Every structure is written in C-alpha cells, then in structure tokens.
Chain A
Amino acid sequence: MNLTYRSLPVTPQVVQEHGLTADEYQRIRHLLGRTPTFEELGVFSVMWSEHCSYKSSRRLLRQLPTTGGQILQGPGENAGIVEVGDGLAVAFKIESHNHPSFIEPYHGAATGVGGILRDVFTMGARPIASLNSLRFGSLDHPRTPYLVKGVVAGIGGYGNCVGVPTVGGEVYFDPGYNNNILVNAFTLGVVRTDRIFRARAAGVGNPVIYVGSRTGRDGIHGASLLASREFDTRSEALRPAVQVGDPFTEKLLIEACLELMQHDLIVAIQDMGAAGLTSSAVEMAGRGGTGILLHLEAIPTREAGITPYELLLSESQERMLLVAKAGCEEDVRAIFARWDLQAEVVGQVTNDGLFRACWYGEEVVHIPVSALTTEAPVYERPAAPPPDWAAHHRLDLADIPCPSDYGRVLVQLLTAPNLASKEWIYRQYDFLVGSNTVVQPGSDAAIIRLKGTRKGIGLSVDCNSRYCALDPYLGAQIAVAEGARNLAVSGARPLALSDCLNFGNPEKPQVMWQFQQTIAGIRDACLALGLAVVSGNVSFYNETEGRAIPPTPTVAMVGILPDVTRHVTQWFKQAGDIIVLLGETKEELGGSEYLALIHGRVAGSPPTLDLSQEKRLQELCLTAAQEGLLSSAHDVAEGGLAIALAESCISHPDRAIGARVQLPSGLRPDVLFFSESQSRVLVSVPPAALSRLQVLARSASFPLFILGEVGGNELDIGGYCRLPVEMLRREWRTALARRLEAVVVPGES
C-alpha cells in the first residue's frame, strides 16, 4: 500500500514533456484558477491531446453530413448506428492504430482490433464482422515484410480468438508509408433498436463500476505521446507505450457485457480506450452533464506501487467502465463472476460537474468536466496548398511510350503488390465464424447475412491515397464514390459510412490544406450520393522525420440488401455470358497504377468524377442486381479495364475461366487497357438478360459497351494479347506470398 505517496512538482519542463504548449498551460491555469497538480496535468495532457480532443479537426468535421432517416446515432458516441428494419440496427466505426503498429506490429495491430470491438459492443451490439485497411511502405524497404507479417498476425491473433470474422479489407504498398504505416480497424455489430446503450452518466449516487483486466503500467501516454506527435529515430524507445492485447479476456468481456445488457442494470457504459480511465470517466460525465468521483485505490491493479498518476493514464486493454443503477451492484458482479471477470465499484456519479479522483481520501484531481471537454482548445490552423502543387499535375502523354507487349505489362501489373491477390493475408483471418459470411474476402464487397431476416449487409473499405496526394478534394470524393460503388455492384444499397482520416502534422499549413480539401470532398460526395458519416476517427501526426504520409481518408461503407440471395460477386461464372462495360473510358492515366509501376511516374490529375453520373450508375447496378440480371459485376478501379477483366477471369475462389473481348477503339491502347476512369463497372450477363440490361442503361442514359463473351481458357483481348487464365491465376495468387516469404524476417521468433 502506498499511503505515503507524494505527488511530483509541476515544472516548465514537466509541462513540455506532457506535450502541452505554453499557451495551453496558461489556459489550464486560467480554467483552474491555480497551478494544476501533477495528476491534473497528466489528465489535461491526454484530454487535450489531438487524439482525444480533435482540437485541429473539430471545426472542419462539422461540415460533414451526419444525419438521415435511418441514422439513430451519428458521431460523438462510441460508434454510429443505422437502422436496417426488422427492429434491428447496425453499429459500426473505423479507427486507427498507426503509431503503435509501426513500433510493435503484432500488439499494435491486435489492440487496434480490440479497441474497435469494444467501441461497438459498448453500444449493445454484438460484433459480427470486422474489416481492416492497411498501408505499408514499399515491399523493397527492409522493414516492410516484418511489419506486414506482424500486423497481419496481430489482427488474426486477436480477431480469430474473439470469434469475430474478418470479412474484408484493403492493403496498399507505397514508399510514402515506409516510416509510418497505417492500420485502420473497422467493426460492425448488430443491435436491437430498443436495446441501444450509450455512454452518458446519469443518476446522482449511481455507482461507477470498473470491469475487465487489472490495470498495469502499459500504454501510459499512448494518446498524447504516441498518437499526437510526429515520429523520429528515437521512436523505438516508445515501445513501452504500446499496449499488450489479451483477446481471451476481450471475449469474456464481450459475452459478459452483452449478457449484462439483457438486464435492466446499467445506465451507461464505455470502454477504456485512449487515455484510459480518465477519458472514459470524463466523457461519460461530459455527455451526461454530471460529475464523477473516483476512488483510485479501489482500482484492481496488476502490481503493487502503481501511482494515482499511472492509474489515471494507463491504457491497459480489455477494461470497461460502467454506471450501474444504485442497488444493482451485486447483480452486476454476479454476471461478471460467471465469466470469471472482476467488477469493482470505484466511484459514483455526482451532481457537481467535477471530475474528481481521490487516493485514500486525499483529492489528487479536482477539475470541472467542462474544462476537459467543451472548453478544451479548438484551433483553426492555417492551411495552404503546397507551392509545387500545380507542377504535380503536369502530365503529357506524348512523353509516355505505349508498351510493345501488352500481355507482359498486364502480368507485371497483376503481380504488383497493390494489384496482386491479397489471399496470403486474408487466409490468416477467420472470415467464417458467426455463420453469416455470404461473400468472403476476394470480391468488391463482403456480404454478410442478418440472421432471422432475409436481409444482408454489404461492407467495403477503400481509399486511393495516390489520388489524394495528387488532389485531396477529388481523391476524397473518389474514396466515397468507390466505396459506394463497391457495394452497389454487389447488390447492396449504400447506407452510411465511417471514415478514418489519416494525415500528417496539422500544424503544417500544407497538411491542414489537405485535410480541409478532404473534408470538402467527402461532404460533397456524401451529399450527391445521399450518404452520411456516422462515426470515424482523425489520426494526425503521421510523419516521420518531417515527412508526412500521403493524405489517406479511409472510407468504410455499409449498405443493405433487402434480399441477401440477390448478391452479386465479381468473377465470371458461365461460358457464353456476355461481357459488358458500363461507363466510359477516358484518357485518364493520371495517378494510375500503370503510370507509377511501368513508367515510374506519380503525376497528372486523378480521374475526373461526375457524381450525378456515378449515382445513376449505382442505381442501374442495384436495379440490375435486384432483377437478377447479373452473373457478375466488378468495379473498374486500380489498373483499369484490363485488370478488371483479368480479375473477373481469375478471382473465383476455385477456378479460372477465360474471356474473349474487343476493346472499343479511338483511344491509345494503353489508355483503353489501364486508364482508371471512374464510374465504370464490368458485368457479365446471360445472353437472355442482355436486352433488359440495355433497356435499363438507356433509360438511365448510361453508356453501355458490349465487349465480348465469357469462355475458354484464355484471356483474349483482341489484337493485343492472349494469356492462359490458369497461368494468370497462379501468378496473381502467389505474387504476394513470393515477395513476403522470400525474406528472412529479423527478430521473428
């Protein structure tokens, strides 16, 4: 016991070590009317960190559309919630765990999964599907294979053990992430609309109960020092700030909390994520307009000698804080005991609007809740485009020679890390547990069914950060449009999205400009497509040694299928089916995979996007899917039409099938092959369904081109190449494994 605990003095150096500016420290003194204690300084530093306070992004985020008919909960809670009928709703959110994953890939990624799962089941929703969006540096960088293996093993190690399927995701490799990878984790859960829980403390005198793992010294200052600062060569030393995950305890917590929520015992619940006990207590009090008093000595600990400061700031995983109804303490304890989890009363709800923490009766924290929430600093940071921005856009196709062997270039692209099959990765995830996975990883969108209904949920996650680097406004629009298109081609009507906005240092005007442009792009695309942002996360300071990552607004899109049996997958199925391209191919090689990989150029403008055209295309796809016209439908994305054709031939889980096509003429052949023009979908239909599809396209005034026919064992692109599909499939499927497994990974046990 540590009754003689003495707090440390607060000196200018201590203030600086907490990542607070001189102005911010003055503001603290002003709000308190005195000098903060050491513990209070710690509390302010995490609550006012960029990660927790959104101080640089909050004003701009207000521009995003966040409401709509079916939206039951927008941003501001642990997860967004959208109603899907039959008395059910889905709760979902995407969140970053970038810096921890770069320092300690296995546990960084694993705890990223754990954190997002807690955000979802906290709302009362049983998690039924996870996705992840990963960005790594070039595969030629010596650290990349180690990071890929660690992150993938961490996501699998955690997700597989808690029994939530990882049904999809995306992975890109780009030298821009060499020293700052991105790990964005998404989870969706299902909840009865009359059983939604929120994190609003209420009821003066109600007990505050701590459940889950004991508190250790891990993850202290994860939010303020790891997530809210740039990296440098000394970052390796921050490894102790990375938390360690325990998926088994998480599984117990999920089951126990969901069981608890069947009964009328609690008024609020929140997970202890970033900034641990402090943020969960403060946020619950803030949302409820109450105060909270904590008795820190009552917190279960892993070891003796943990100080009040450490208890307040620890980010030990698998912990929840809840407010129970007075008198229900024993019932709550009994449910957690059934799952061998500890539940301790550690405080109570008060009506004084204060966040107070005591240590054996002595008050070590006494702060108005509002000082930590509504009165936290909000910055309008200067924004300006980079001076050389216009220069990026200069691209003269006359300087780009056409390939002499299209077959060779096609194989080169198909086996490049960004376009090769991601099977090596998703095979390490349990994508089946839960018995809901209708379309498993490997198609444009994952489809899961909603048990007890005829409905299905479509899920996709997307962002082309090369486009975003060239034009953040257009890139963000494309991220939203493509996410929605991935669902529409799969037969799912897009409902809402969650975004994970990964950027560099917001104190730099160029980064702030990218952020500003991105928000405007997401807003405009959402408005045009009738979508809303219901949850998300901003991750700034993704920089190492002054170099920011490309702006990466990851968009996780959720949609609904009224009849799950009407889903569509991307691969060709039947010889004799007619291959049709919906949409127009334009001379748009700017920012393309072809230009980057074959010609070593990242330049030009990203492809243009006409949002009303896009909307018409998506409606057309949805109607065609609903009417059961489509044998397959595949979004034409990175790599262009030639890659979409090849993928349609070879991405069936079990077999390949050939195709004979003629590309329309009038453009440079490399444009026809590899242009990444938006709003295009490659479909195959039985001959009998073709005329109906033509009628639908005509009435939508949408261009339609008949390209050829499914069949044979070659991909035959008239006049340019004939490639055996079995060879293509083998090369495409094994390319990533060949790159990753050829390397001996240092430090791997």
Chain B
Amino acid sequence: MKWGVVIFPGSCDDRDALYCLETVLGQQATALWHKDRDLHGVDAILLPGGFSYGDYLRCGALARFSPIMQSVCEFAHAGGPVIGICNGFQILCEAGLLPGALVRNRSLSFICDWVRIKVETSRTPFTAACRVGEILRLPIKHGTGCYVADAETLSTLENNGQIVFRYVNAAGEASETANPNGSLHNIAGVTNARGNVVGLMPHPEHAVESLLGGEDGRKLFRLPFTWL
C-alpha cells in the first residue's frame, strides 16, 4: 500500500510524516504537492500538521481551496482513507469532510505537551488496529485545537460512534483536567459518517520511536486491507 502526504507551503510536520511512514515503519509513501491535482495512485492520504498557508486568516481556511484538496475531497467521497493531523484536522473541517470546527485553545496559548487519549471506536481504517478503550500517549502541539460543534452535531457524533478519540487522564477518565484545550466532550479526534476520514489534534507521527518518547502512534498507521 502507498501513502500520500500532502505538502502545503507552510506544512511543518510533512517531513516527519514521511520519515515516520517510510524510514520508521517501512511503508511506501510519496509527497503530494499542493499545486498539483494528481494523487499518484496512493491508497491513503495524510494531511500533516503545520500552518498550510500561514494560517493568518483561520487555520485551514485557505488550504481547502488548493488544487490538491479538490482531489483529496474526491478521494474521500469515493471512500478512500484520509487522516488529518493537527492542521490537517483543521483543513478537513474547513473542507467539510469532517463535522465541527477547531477554535483557539481555552488558555489562548499554544500548548506543546504529551497527553493521553482513549480510542472510542475501532471502526475506522486508522483505529482498526486498536482496542476500544485503549489509552494512547501522544504529543499535542497546537494553538487552535479546541474542538467545537453545535449540540445537534455533538449528539449525532456521540450516537453514531463518530468520536474517535477523547482526552483522558491516566485512569482513562475524560476529566476536565485531562482536557488540554477545552474541547467539547474532551474530543481529540472525530470521523465522518462513513468512517473513512479521521481528524485528530494529537500527533501519532511524533510517537513512533521510543528514543523520542513513545511508540503508541504506530498503531494508527496500520491500515487493514479491507479498507484499500
């Protein structure tokens, strides 16, 4: 299987994502340039973290208009697996591929730290290798990571099992103190109704080597064949 990592001019974690997939996990991956429309026959797409076009407006607001995003949307609508990490999550929300939006952290400051998230569903290609209830330790690094949605959307997400990850404490409880950014319902990641598009604020690609602090992120890149 082959991954495509989209590179926007202001992407920061694009090289990390490629390093994680190719060098650490030994998978095939290729860079997809934001000005192109060609997806080069990839089987899964990763939208990396960073500041796509500077994000001076709203995070991801410009990126959704880029040529590559047209192709990414078509790929997603056809059921292709797409994961957006951090800025990638913001872009997926802006592009309407995922419900809800991300706003400034409750603290109004950028936060870089390690957090714990609980896997709420394994019915996405990116969590298929996880157990429901499993706790992963991953880093976050964002200023705009507070997940919000209207009450109706939230209840749909809850009822349909579209909440993929929640911030939790060591005991696995989605407590107020375990919530780093004020996200509603402690939401760290969501999926679309079909389950093929996932967005999350924590960075699994930064948790794949014990030398750098942990390997819990590896599981998210183990896609089952049934999705391809």
**B54 near A653 (CB under 8 angstroms)?**
no
Within 8 Å by CB of B110, from A251, A428, A654, lies A428
**A427 near B111 (CB under 8 angstroms)?**
yes
**A153 near B212 (CB under 8 angstroms)?**
no
**CA of A162 to CA of B11 in the docked complex: distance in angstroms?**
9
Instruction: Say whether A475 faces chain B, with CB atoms less than 8 Å apart.
Output: no
Within 8 Å by CB of A251, from B9, B56, B205, B213, lies B9
**B109 near A432 (CB under 8 angstroms)?**
no
**B212 near A435 (CB under 8 angstroms)?**
yes
Instruction: Say whether B185 faces chain A, with CB atoms less than 8 Å apart.
Output: no
On chain A, the residues within 8 Å of B11 by CB distance are 163
Residues 408 to 463 of chain A near chain B (Cβ within 8 Å):
426-438, 440, 449, 451
**A564 near B9 (CB under 8 angstroms)?**
no
**CA of A192 to CA of B9 in the docked complex: distance in angstroms?**
24
On chain B, the residues within 8 Å of A564 by CB distance are 211
On chain B, the residues within 8 Å of A153 by CB distance are 109-110
Instruction: Say whether B96 faces chain A, with CB atoms less than 8 Å apart.
Output: no
**CA of A255 to CA of B25 in the docked complex: distance in angstroms?**
26
Instruction: Say whether A265 faces chain B, with CB atoms less than 8 Å apart.
Output: no
Q: What's the tally of chain B residues with a CB closer than 8 Å to chain A?
A: 32
Residues 79 to 128 of chain B near chain A (Cβ within 8 Å):
109-114
On chain B, the residues within 8 Å of A435 by CB distance are 15-16, 19-20, 205-206, 209, 212
Within 8 Å by CB of A653, from B9, B114, B141, B211, lies B114
Residues 330 to 355 of chain A near chain B (Cβ within 8 Å):
339-340
**A432 near B19 (CB under 8 angstroms)?**
no
Within 8 Å by CB of B12, from A433, A449, A451, lies A433
Residues 643 to 673 of chain A near chain B (Cβ within 8 Å):
653-654
Q: Which residue, of A251, A431, A451, has the highest number of chain B Cβ atoms within 10 A? A: A251
CB distance from B184 to the nearest CB of A (A): 22
Given A163-B50, A449-B211, do A430 and B16 touch, yes or no (CB 8 Å)? no
Instruction: Say whether A565 faces chain B, with CB atoms less than 8 Å apart.
Output: yes
**CA of A340 to CA of B55 in the docked complex: distance in angstroms?**
16
Within 8 Å by CB of A428, from B53, B111, B213, lies B111
**CA of A628 to CA of B133 in the docked complex: distance in angstroms?**
37
CB distance from B124 to the nearest CB of A (A): 24
On chain A, the residues within 8 Å of B53 by CB distance are 248
Given A161-B10, A248-B53, do A430 and B112 touch, yes or no (CB 8 Å)? yes
**CA of A252 to CA of B50 in the docked complex: distance in angstroms?**
13
Instruction: Say whether B221 faces chain A, with CB atoms less than 8 Å apart.
Output: no
Q: Which residue, of B11, B49, B110, B112, has the highest number of chain A Cβ atoms within 10 A? A: B112
Instruction: Say whether B147 faces chain A, with CB atoms less than 8 Å apart.
Output: no
**CA of A440 to CA of B20 in the docked complex: distance in angstroms?**
19
Q: What's the tally of chain A residues with a CB closer than 8 Å to chain B?
A: 36
Instruction: Say whether A160 faces chain B, with CB atoms less than 8 Å apart.
Output: yes
Instruction: Say whether B3 faces chain A, with CB atoms less than 8 Å apart.
Output: no
Residues 155-183 of chain A: 1 if any B CB is under 8 Å from the residue's CB, otherwise 0? 01100111100000000000000000000
**A433 near B51 (CB under 8 angstroms)?**
no
**CA of A153 to CA of B143 in the docked complex: distance in angstroms?**
11
Residues 225 to 252 of chain A near chain B (Cβ within 8 Å):
246-249, 251-252
On chain B, the residues within 8 Å of A428 by CB distance are 109-112
**CA of A145 to CA of B172 in the docked complex: distance in angstroms?**
36
**A438 near B211 (CB under 8 angstroms)?**
yes
**CA of A537 to CA of B10 in the docked complex: distance in angstroms?**
30
Residues 41-76 of chain B: 1 if any A CB is under 8 Å from the residue's CB, otherwise 0? 000000001110111100000000000000000000
On chain A, the residues within 8 Å of B206 by CB distance are 432, 435
**B110 near A430 (CB under 8 angstroms)?**
yes
CB distance from A329 to the nearest CB of B (A): 23
- Specify the chain B residue showing the minimal Cβ separation from A162: B12
Instruction: Say whether B203 faces chain A, with CB atoms less than 8 Å apart.
Output: yes
On chain B, the residues within 8 Å of A438 by CB distance are 211-212
**CA of A710 to CA of B98 in the docked complex: distance in angstroms?**
49
Given A252-B9, A340-B9, do A429 and B110 touch, yes or no (CB 8 Å)? yes
CB distance from A457 to the nearest CB of B (A): 14
On chain A, the residues within 8 Å of B9 by CB distance are 248, 251-252, 255, 339-340
Residues 170-207 of chain A: 1 if any B CB is under 8 Å from the residue's CB, otherwise 0? 00000000000000000000000000000000000000
**CA of A157 to CA of B144 in the docked complex: distance in angstroms?**
12
Interface residues of A (CB under 8 A from B): 153, 156-157, 160-163, 246-249, 251-252, 255, 339-340, 426-438, 440, 449, 451, 564-565, 653-654
Besides A432-B206, A434-B16, A437-B213, 13 other CB < 8 A contacts? A160-B141, A161-B54, A248-B10, A248-B53, A251-B10, A251-B51, A340-B9, A432-B203, A433-B12, A433-B49, A433-B141, A435-B20, A564-B211
